[in-house]
Structure 1
């Protein structure tokens, strides 16, 4: 019986991580993470929400992107990565998107709690 970790290791070892299109995909994910962190630090909330919306749209389009990749992989890839189950796309494309969205949501939740806490402190101060 193979475990999920063994399946993941096997899949990861079969991927040619030096392919230019994969390097581009991973670079875009890294750039999105950096942008999410910087926009949080700079308090660029609208920009961060725009990034969140774009990431959600790409996440929603994952199945169509996988279908396109399965039909046209010879144009840009050295081997067929795009299986019908979408495991490759889930790990390489969707998972980083979900992690970036969770990072943004976490920061938005923290900001909301902080704002509510300040609001309650002001309310308590005014009621005295």
Structure 2
């Protein structure tokens, strides 16, 4: 029983030494420890909190409390509200990051206006022209990744800042999204026209059947 208490007391002393050394490390105090004879340990060695003695020069000193402190700090940082949280805040942050007055942004907005007007005009034209225009817009969308890489390399030639990040956020929101919306509207218009054509064809078939029945009825009357 006495040996058990002795081993427990030694373990408690070791734990106390580890806690003390960890506290000194966290608060930036010196980790040098004096030996039992009253002399300081060598300047290049650090006490490791165990019976093995000191760390030699160049060895990395570790403490169980170091990992605990890093975990607590990471939890605190992750709980902080950093950056926009809501959708409106994200929109405002994106809008604030763009220099709307520079020529590149103005030309881009003008390009979208031209595309919108062209799509509106072509909605009243031949279906083949509309299909060709939609294919043209689809090619631009398909080449968005290559255009983003090109813009990332040459942005200094036409813009005041690099809008072309590796994730393609600017390319997706400012170029691809409007073109996709225009293509979708034109596609819906085509589907609507196709539906109306099918209805008209069905009506024409029904009208043709009724006319055929009338002609047969008139022939019968004439024979009678």
Calculate the TM-score normalised by the size of structure 2: 0.54
Shift of 1:61: 0.6
Residue 31 of structure 1 corresponds to: 114
Question: Larger Rg: 1 or 2?
Answer: 2
Residue 86 of structure 2 corresponds to: 3
Shift of 1:81: 0.9
Aligned residue-pair number: 127
Distance 1:36 1:109 in 2: 15
Residue 113 of structure 1 corresponds to: 195
Residue 96 of structure 1 corresponds to: 178
Residue 131 of structure 2 corresponds to: 49
Distance 2:113 2:126 in 1: 19
Q: Deviations over 1:76-97 (max 9, x none)?
A: 1101111111111111100111
**Is the counterpart of residue 78 in structure 1 residue 160 in structure 2?**
yes
Unaligned runs of 5+ in 2: 1-80, 211-224
Unaligned runs of 5+ in 1: none
Distance 1:117 1:74 in 2: 55
Shift of 1:46: 2.1
Distance 1:90 1:71 in 2: 18
SS of equivalent to 1:16: coil
Q: Paired residue for 2:99, among 6, 10, 16? A: 16
Whether the 8 Å contact between 1:36 and 1:103 is mirrored in structure 2 is: no
Residue 127 of structure 1 corresponds to: 209
Moved more, 3-12 or 94-103: 3-12
Q: Which has the higher helix share?
A: 1
Structure with the bigger RCO (C-alpha within 8 Å, sep 6+) is 1
Q: Deviations over 1:20-58 (max 9, x none)?
A: 1221111111111111111113x2322222111100000
